[in-house]
Structure 1
Amino acid sequence: MSSMTSLGIAVLTISDTRTPETDKSGNLLVEEIKSAGHQVIDHLIVKDDIYQIRAEVSNWIASSSVQVVITTGGTGFSSRDSTPEAVSVLFDKPIEGFGELFRQVSYEEIGTSTIQSRAVAGMANNTAVFCVPGSSNACRTAWHKVIKQQIDSTHKPCNFAANLTRSE
């Protein structure tokens, strides 16, 4: 049995109101990442602004120490929600199945309200980028039911970990 590869992960909370003390979703993701044996490289909060979001995610995509980016917030339909628009243009390849699967597993928890999630993911410069809703329940669902397994190098039959490792 092979041992799991520890990945460098950055977390971006997108919110006009959250602070480090009130960032339940971002803090939940940080704890889950650490308990899964990965490293938290960075954890930031930015306003729901397309260019601030894009700038932070771009910096992490360009960094050799970050293999995974997880954003939380800005994936709904309010006038300020712009995460998919900010991040999708950075993808070399979209991971269409992520949004589809996230909405499927969310349906079991919140019913048809899941259609209001615009969760997206993609690969950019050998970095997996997952954009999930801002609620801590949505973050927990995305992490436990999709992301955790797909970035675990021991998950079979396949996972993204082999595509995420970079030589320095």
Structure 2
Amino acid sequence: TLFVDKNLRFHGLMQAFSRTNRIYDATKTFGNIVTFRDLERSTIDAITLFGDKNTKNVVLEKSYAEYMEGFTDAATGEAKRGFMAVVSELEQRFPDPASIESEKEKKDFVKLFGEYLRAENILQNYDEFATLKALQQIDLSDPVAVEKFKAEHYVDDEKFAELQTIRLPAERKIQDYR
């Protein structure tokens, strides 16, 4: 992770940002950059200058909501479905991994589960997803645990209710899939 509290432009910005992209293994597909100043316009200008007009759509991450709900890739025009749709299909088509028998089902499962893992890998970088994962670990019938969760994650009642509507496969289920 790179923390930036300086107004960077063009070459200096690209040099600083490029240091986050040293890939160590297959699980680190990109680096994180936290800016304490608004560098969005400078970033887009630098990427456009040193790349082409569509490069910013490849380099910059989408929002958490886009990864969760789906988006249209600006570079290709292709509709990318969101994490929630992938989870829903995974649970509907393959509720019991032990019952996958035919070669076609196995191939379909591998493709779908790969899509799930790629989406989850990207979402691991968002605080909102960490909050959602943490919610899965608390006892919702314990008011003390719920209030502690809300305080630790700065979640109000409205956001808490919203988080409860999002389904994630249980960790045990994911282990069964693997």
Q: Settle same-fold status: TM greater than 0.5.
A: no
- Higher helix residue share: 2
Higher relative contact order (CA 8 A, sep 6+): 1
TM-score (normalised: structure 1): 0.30
Greater Rg by CA:
2
> Which structure carries more strand by proportion?
1
